[in-house]
Every structure is written in C-alpha cells, then in structure tokens.
Amino acid sequence: MSRKLFMYLEQKETSEGECKLSFRLAYIFSYNLFQFCGHTWILANTIARFLTFGQDALADTFYSVGFMMGLCQLLSILELFHIADGIEKARLLPRFVQVMEKNFLLIMVIMLEEIQSKPVVCAQLFLWNVLDLLRYPHELLCVMDTPSIPMLWTRYTLYIPLYILSVATEGVTIYQALLYVEPTAPNASSLNSTVSTQVHRPFLLMVYLPVLALGERGHCDRLATAEGETSPPGEMEQEDETEMTP
C-alpha cells in the first residue's frame, strides 16, 4: 500500500513539473512571438511610408508607429524578470541598462514633440527594430529546440556594427534634445526651486550619455560570453591545452 502511495505521489509531482515547464515554454514563446510580430509591423510600416511619401514621411512616422514601439519597449521590462527567474540565460545588469536606456530615450522623445519629426529619430527606430528582428527569431528557434547556426552567425555578426550605430544615433538624439531643454536665464525674482528644476532636465540627459557607453560595454561582454558558449568543443579543448602548456 505504501509503495503504491509513493508511486502515486511521484507521478503527481512529475505531472505538475511538466505542466509548469510547458506553461513557461508557452509563455516565453508567446512573448518572443509578440515582440517579433510587433517589430516586424513597425519596420514594414516605416519602410512602406518612406517608399510612398519619401522625406515627407519623416514628419509623422513617429505618430504612426510610436504606440506599438512604446508597447514593445514597455513589455521588454519583462525580460528582466525572465533572467531573474531563470527562463532566459543572460546577465541581468547589462540587460537592465539596455532596457532602461531605451525606455528613457523613448519617453524623452514622447515628451519632446519638437524632435519627433527629426530624421535621427526615424533612424533610431529603424535601427532598434532591425536589432530586435535579429534577436527574437533566434530566441524563438531556441525555445523550440531548433537553433539555426546561420541565424546565430547573422545575429552576432551584424549585431555589433548595428549596435554601435544605434548607440551613436542615441547620442545624436540626446544632443538634439538638449537644444530644446536648455534652461533659460532666470529672472531676478525667480525662486531657487524654479532654477533648480530648469537645470535638472539637461543635466539628466547629459548623465545619460555615459550610460550608453556602459550599455555598449555590457553588450560586448555578453557577445563574448555567447561566443564562448557556442564555440565547438574541440576548440575549447585546444585552448585549455594551450593554457596548461608552460
């Protein structure tokens, strides 16, 4: 009797573990699929508007794709919980910096309507979407246990120059935003609180620039880690033997 009870409890724990595992897989698959579809729609809409209207499309491109872009970037905060929960294998601090800097920059663009029609903003959205479209299809294939070596190579080869261009574009966007938030000369009767409030906004934007370099450093470290994890076993053994040889 006790043996049957033990087998029943063991089967119940196994079924609960499989149910929990299947739910996690379904969730992470749905998340990556939504991000892939969202960024595909944004990129297709941006390209279609540019081919149809030319440079005139720069005036209202952000109004057309801003909501979907904001939704995708807002949901990207969930990736921090994915890493903390162990669903995704990545470093938490570099991902935190990258997610927060994107959301901060997007909020700044939403608040400053004067720069929404700038060409640099459209270039920024284009680079963000291309980078994410290099990433999420690979994540989907990994969830389905069918990773693609050509897609992995494409992701980590094109990601480096595109990410550097993206960081440079973010710096230009910050520089142009500073022109619209520079504090004006205060009047003699102005309160100190008003002056401090005016000075804080451009100061925060200038502090954001070193964060871009920190995010790029963390991204390069993550690429190095991923390259080491995906290197063939034979190469790793040769490297170990070389290190052990005096």
Which are the catalytic amino acids? 163, 170
90 by DSSP, 3-state: which?
Answer: coil
Q: Is 117 helix (H, G, I), strand (E, B) or coil?
A: coil
Residue-level length of the chain: 246
What residue has token string 């070193």? 210
| 3-class state of residue 151 by DSSP | helix
CA–CA gap between residue 106 and residue 45 (Å, rounded): 18
Residues 141/88, Cβ–Cβ less than 8 Å:
no
Distance between CA atoms of residues 41 and 223, nearest Å = 27
Q: Output the six-digit token pair for 238.
A: 């040769």
DSSP characters over 57-80:
GGGTHHHHHHHHHHHHHHHTTHHH
> If you search the block for the tokens 């040769």, which residue do you land on?
238
SS3 label, residue 186: coil
35: three-class secondary structure by DSSP: helix
